[in-house]
Amino acid sequence: MVKVGLLVRLEAKPGKEQEVEEFIQAGLALVEEEPKTVNWYGIKIGATTYGIFDTFNDDSGKEAHLTGKVAKALFEKAPDLFKEPPHVEAVDILAAK
Q: How far apart are CA 17 and CA 41, in angstroms?
A: 17
State pLDDT tens for residues 52-81: 999 999 999 999 999 999 999 999 999 999
Dihedral sign (CA 68, 73, 78, 82): negative
Let me know if 18 is exposed, middle or buried by CB neighbors in 10 A (0-12, 13-18, 19+): exposed
Tell me the average pLDDT of the chain.
Answer: 97
Backbone torsions φ then ψ of 9, nearest 5 degrees: -105, 135
Structural domains in the chain plus CATH codes: 4-92 (3.30.70.100)
For the whole model, what pTM was predicted?
0.92
